[in-house]
Amino acid sequence: MSMYLLIANILLINLLIAVFNNIFNEVNAVSHQVWMFSRFTVVMEYQQKPVLPAPFIAFCHFYSLLKYCIRKAKGLEIQRDNGLKLFLEKDDLERLYDFEEECVEGFFHEQEHILNQSTDERIKSTTERVENMSQKIEDINQKENLQTAAVQVKH
């Protein structure tokens, strides 16, 4: 009996470790995504700030105003996009498009798998319920047959 309890305790501890490991992996994946978004926010925040420290920001604004006036005087198009830019060669751009396409296909495949899995789970649970109901009906029929047999024996 004590050996059985020892094995049961070891199995329960292993199950507990497996559950904690699964929870850790899920939380780690979500926290990695949150970290990536936070990192992107920090990069964008620093990219939009002037290069010079606080007292000299006026020089940056003056330079931007001067650039604007020169472009306006020459009749050139005014650039309003000051964001980060990605300059890629044709091969790299093609690989980027392929990567994006693979990511989209993977996402749609995952969504379809989740939908099919939920449908399969619903079918499985419905099948289990039908089997339980049929088992209960069989039990009721057996009890009824036993009762009718008992009544016939008494008469």
Residue 63 and residue 53: Cα distance in Å, rounded? Answer: 15
pLDDT band at 46 (very low <50, low <70, confident <90, very high): confident
Over the stretch 80-92, which tens digit does the pLDDT of each residue have?
666 667 788 889 8
* Most distant CA atoms of the chain, gap in Å: 118
Report the predicted TM-score, pTM, of the whole model to 2 decimal places: 0.39
Residue 73 and residue 13: Cα distance in Å, rounded? Answer: 77
Would you say residue 145 has pLDDT above 90? no
